[in-house]
Structures are given as structure tokens and as C-alpha cells.
Amino acid sequence: MMTREEYFESLRKLNLKVYMFGELVENPVDNPIIRPSLNSIGMTYELANQPEYEDLMTATSSLNGQKVNRFTHLHQSTEDLVKKVKMLRLLGQKTGSCFQRCVGMDANNAVFSTTYEIDEAYGTNYHENFKKFLNDVQLKDLVVDGAMTDPKGDRSLSPSKQADPDSYLRVVERRPDGVVVRGAKAHQTGIVNSHEVLVMPTIAMKPDDKDYAISFAVPTDSEGIFMIYGRQSCDTRKTEEGADIDLGNKEFGGHEALVIFDNVFVPNERIFMNGETEFAGMLVERFSGYHRQSYGGCKVGVGDVLIGATALAADYNGAAKASHVKDKLIEMTHLNETLFSCGVACSCEGCKTKSGNYIIDLLLANVCKQNITRFPYEIVRLAEDIAGGLMVTLPSEKDFNTAELKPYIEKYLVGVEGVSVEDRMRIMRLIENISLGTAAVGYRTESMHGAGSPQAQRIMISRQSNLEQKKELAKNIANIKKD
Ligand code: SF4
Ligand code: FE
């Protein structure tokens, strides 16, 4: 396994093409806007090397018998699935943001089982291709970015019926040694910090969409790939000289980007699906199921940080003993632990796939994510309620550090005795960061749309709900005769 520093160095060797604010970023690793997101993934390496976290952060590989980072592991039991959720909660607690590495873990597990079933139906060689790829990822301890979401153009039309055929990523050329693909993947979490990108189709497909049913992995610095970095609320604060208090979370963050595949060559041995349209739905369902489980861990960990910050805000202004404040903190905890319960439940109820790795219970994973589209919003509402307006009206750090203003800021923004105004500012800025600053991408809006928007879960819940069986139960109890 790599150390945190080795991971940073390995990224320096990549020749990534990243654009931000209209310019090519020369050195993404040391860019002040990108760096906090790199530090977050760095934590997945750092904790894996600490004996205290070994059990959660590492596992024994089913492919090569080596000790590997759990983020590269194929789940071998329901216990592994539960450990994954706990690992993500831990990382959310340590970073207070999105640590990005889970999309690859979820994609790996989904592609592993789906390729097995495609090969079974068609006699193809995708599963072996994938195993070779993943073995390499495990031994080198790489970051893989799972890439699913296509831009989608007109949502009422299928991929092959779009005005622009590139609205969904597709094969544009077939060669004896591989294929050439063109298209884009949107909202790509952590792509700039990843060594490899694992591409999957984004929806279930019909026979007409053959060129769009493509799954493969290529290095992120492959010829033809470039990224346009997503800007975040308050992002340029990170470029301010001496920025610290105003950042709320100086060390960690997350990122997303639009990734363009402009005629990228994929060799045959890196292809994991190529035209088997009827398996696109299976892959989407499995990947999104795993990622919906993931949120029952990562969002809960960030929620822990937000609840702690909110309780401190109350301590610092003397409101902690008010009964409604105590009750709101209880409510925040109740909501947060409900999300964790869903993450654990869908893991405990998981089962073995034909390929041998384990998958979560899909109904419960979708219930988990459906709750995630709601509860973090309520948790943030309560955090803002308790924090007070100061979290959005505070003077800047520069004002605070200006000699003629500092005494006035200290005089008028003081709370309880014994707590410095600076500490009060730090907590307010942390709450701001998670609720509406840079980390809000990962905590709020991603809670809505990440791993699929709410309606996608409702469709899955409806499919898995087994209403007919429930009707039978009611008929039996009500003594309604069968005809
Ligand atoms: Fe991982 Fe959560 Fe970020 Fe998704 S949102 S990559 S599950 S930390
Ligand atoms: Fe996500």
C-alpha cells in the first residue's frame, strides 16, 4: 500500500489536462483550490497505514491474497459491507468533506459482478479483463474514479435519438485492437486526484443504443481526456493570502469536474462491456445501489462534524442550556443516526452475487439514499437555526486582523467568557463551509443528486417493493377468498 506522500508523488507523475477559470492548470497537486480535495483522499492512505484503523481501512484481497486498501477491495461478506459504511463514516469525521475515493470502490464492485454475468451469457472475456485491471489497481494502491453520469441532452430521448450523438458517451470507431470513444461524464467526483477512470453507461438501454453500452478503464492522463474543474461557492477564498479562519475547513475539501473524452482509444484488454445493451441496466442498478449505501456512511460522518460544530456554537454563545437547543441537537442526532442505520441495514441484508463478491440489499440502499435527499437538509436547517445569523454576516479574517478593527470585533462579537472571538469565528465558518461553502457540494446538493436524484430511488423502491405480496398478506388477514 502507498503512504500519503507516495500517493501525492504518484499524482505528480500524471500528465493531466485540467482547466480552471479558463486556463490550463500547470500543477494540480499544489494548486490551492484543488489541494484540499487531494488532502481528503490522502486521508484514505494515511488511516490505512495506522494500526488503529487497520481493520476498517484494509482487507485481504480475494484476487491476490495481499493486504490492500479497502477502497480497492471486492466485498467478500456482509461484514465487509458493514465495515465499508463504518470506514466512510470515519473518513467523513476526519475530513468534514467528500473524500472521493468511494466512487471507484463502488464501480469496481459493480463491474466485477456484471462482467461475470455478461461473460456467462455471451462467452466474452470481460471478467478476466476486469480482474487483471483490478489486480493492478490493488497492488499499486491506485485511485479509480467511477464515471457514470452522461450529460444526457434532451431527457425525453434515448442515447441514439439525441440531436448530438455525443450527449451520451459512445464508441465512434471500432478497430481490431480496441475502440475509440467520444463523449463526456459530468459531476466527476475526484477525477483530478485519480489515476484511472472506470467508465460505465448511465441508463438502461435498448438494442438501438449498442454504441452507448460501453464500459472500460483508462488512465486519467490518456490522450484525448481533459477536465473542466467545477467551481464551488466561496472557492476563491482559498487563494486569498494567509487564508485560514475564513475557510472554515482549511485542510480538506472535495471536487467535481466535467470530463471530456475527445476520441480516446481504449485497448481491447481494458473493455468490460461493448454493446451488450441488456446489461447496462444491471450495471447502473448495482453501481448506484453501492453508492447509495456509501452515503449512509460518508454523509453521516460529515453530519457528526456539523452536529459537533453546532453544539459548540451554542456553547460559545451561552445558549447550550436552552431546552429547545438541546432538543434540536437531539433531533439532528436522531436524523443522522437514522441515515447510519440505513447504511448498516442495507449492508447486513446484502447477499453474494454470482461472481462471488457481495452486494447490498437494493431496496434498503435506495431507502437509505432517499432519506439522504432529505435529512441533511433538515440537519443543516437546524444547524443554521442554532448558529444564528453570524455564520453569514461575520466580518472577514482580514478585518479581524486589522489593528484598528480588531478591538471592536473582539468587543462586539464576544460570547461567553473564556471563549475567544477567533474560536467563535472558526466554528461559524465551519458551519458555513458545510452548509453553503465549498463542502456544501458534498454535503447538501450531493445529498440530493449524488448517486442519483430522488426520483431514481423512488423508481427502484417501487420496483423492489413487492406490492403484490403485500396485497396477499392483506387478503389473508381480511379473509378475502382467492378466485
Ligand atoms: Fe465518497 Fe461520499 Fe464523496 Fe461519494 S459523496 S465519493 S460516497 S465521500
Ligand atoms: Fe457522490
Helices (H) and strands (E) in the chain, counts: 18, 14
Ligand 1 lined by 443 (C-beta under 6 Å): no
- Using the mean position of ligand 2's atoms as its centre, give its distance from the Cα of residue 189 in Å: 7
- Using the mean position of ligand 1's atoms as its centre, give its distance from the Cα of residue 58 in Å: 18
CA 310 from chain center: how many Å?
A: 24
pTM, to two decimals: 0.98
Which residue has the least CA distance to atom 2 on ligand 1? 298
- pLDDT tens track for 363-395: 999 999 999 999 999 999 999 999 999 999 999
- Using the mean position of ligand 1's atoms as its centre, give its distance from the Cα of residue 447 in Å: 10
Ligand 1 lined by 288 (C-beta under 6 Å): no
Which ligand number lies closest to the CA of residue 294?
1
To the query of whether residue 351 is one of the catalytic residues in this protein, the response is: no
DSSP output for 204-243? ---GGGGGG-EEEEEETT-TTEEEEEPP-TTGGGGGSTT-
Cβ 244 vs Cβ 397: under 8 Å: yes
DSSP code of residue 143: -
Which residue has the least CA distance to atom 7 on ligand 1? 294
Question: Cα Rg for the chain, rounded, in angstroms?
Answer: 24
- pLDDT tens track for 90-125: 999 999 999 999 999 999 999 999 999 999 999 999
- pLDDT tens track for 12-52: 999 999 999 999 999 999 999 999 999 999 999 999 999 99
Question: What pLDDT, on the 0 to 100 scale, is given for residue 204?
Answer: 95
Q: Where are the extended beta strands (E) located within 339-395?
A: 351-352, 358-359
Ligand 1 lined by 215 (C-beta under 6 Å): no
pLDDT band at 442 (very low <50, low <70, confident <90, very high): confident
- pLDDT tens track for 272-288: 999 999 999 999 999 99
Cβ 47 vs Cβ 91: under 8 Å: yes
Question: What pLDDT, on the 0 to 100 scale, is given for residue 440?
Answer: 85
- Is the model's pLDDT at 483 over the cut of 90? no
The span from the CA of 345 to the CA of 164, in Å, is 42
Percent of the chain whose predicted confidence (pLDDT) is above 70: 100
Which ligand number lies closest to the CA of residue 295?
1
Ligand 1 lined by 302 (C-beta under 6 Å): no
Which ligand 1 atom sits nearest the alpha carbon of residue 91?
Answer: 8
Ligand 1 lined by 149 (C-beta under 6 Å): no
